[in-house]
């Protein structure tokens, strides 16, 4: 019997096994192959596309700290140069009266606000650093790594001034020197903090989280 079936061949069975169409590889299409009703396949696909491997998180954390180090060193170097060459000197005009370099000591927050709360701003800066370190444990997003790196570098830059500069530990005055017309004097750390904050706001509006997932409200 087996030999006869081999010679004659086994007839195709249509309808008995199922009536679904076959795919390009010859496999029958399953009626359950589609997504369940009500499931957002786009969001699922976007989440599945996020690479959450340890290597990816390690690269993002390295990028965060690289951005922070660059921002911190630029701020620190510029302040050292300003203190050595520009403090107690006449302001240097870069673009007429529109932009000058004018060294001042600021006991307040960014752009000279809140000079009576130096210790409070020191605690806030230290808290920001702790929060960023905690976020780094679940960081898989490239733009978030850049934004957090800018925040970290700027916070470290101004915190260094508050800890090590006069009049005392945790009460030190920050060195500011970029003086646009009709605006407060600031430094590169302030610029990094503002740029990082703006980037975070934009990422939040787009629904991108630090872990790389995208949500829609």
Reduced 3-state DSSP string for 77-128: HHHHHHHHHCCCCCCEEEECCCEEEEEEEECCCHHHCCHHHHHHHHHHHHHH
Between β-strands 92-95 and 174-180, what pairing exists: parallel, antiparallel or unpaired? unpaired
For the question of residue 97 being annotated catalytic, the response is no
Of 176, 209, 211, 217, the catalytic one is: 176
Straight-line distance from the first to the last Cα atom of the chain, in angstroms, rounded to the nearest whole number: 66
Of 32, 51, 190, 211, the catalytic one is: 190
Angstrom distance (rounded) from CA 190 to CA 188: 5
3-state secondary structure of 132: helix
For the question of residue 176 being annotated catalytic, the response is yes
| Residues forming the active site | 176, 190
């Amino acid at each position: 019997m087996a030999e006869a079936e081999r010679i004659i061949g086994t007839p195709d069975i249509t309808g008995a096994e199922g009536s679904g169409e076959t795919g390009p590889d010859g496999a029958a299409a399953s009626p359950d192959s589609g997504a369940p009703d009500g499931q957002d396949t786009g969001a699922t696909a976007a989440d599945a596309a996020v690479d959450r491997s340890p290597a990816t998180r390690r690269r993002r954390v390295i990028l965060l700290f690289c951005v922070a180090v660059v921002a911190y060193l630029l701020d620190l170097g510029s302040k050292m140069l300003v203190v050595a060459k520009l403090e107690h000197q006449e302001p240097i005009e870069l673009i007429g009266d529109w932009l000058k370099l004018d060294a001042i000591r600021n006991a307040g927050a960014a752009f000279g606000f809140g000079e009576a709360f130096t210790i409070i701003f020191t605690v806030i800066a230290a808290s920001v650093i702790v929060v960023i370190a905690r976020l780094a444990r679940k960081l898989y997003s490239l733009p978030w790594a850049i934004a957090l790196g800018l925040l970290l570098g700027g916070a470290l830059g101004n915190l260094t001034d508050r800890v090590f500069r006069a009049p005392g530990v945790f009460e030190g005055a920050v060195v500011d020197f970029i003086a646009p017309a009709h605006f407060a004097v600031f430094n590169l750390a302030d610029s990094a903090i503002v740029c990082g904050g703006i980037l975070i706001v934009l990422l939040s509006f787009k629904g991108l989280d630090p872990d790389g997932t995208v949500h829609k409200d």
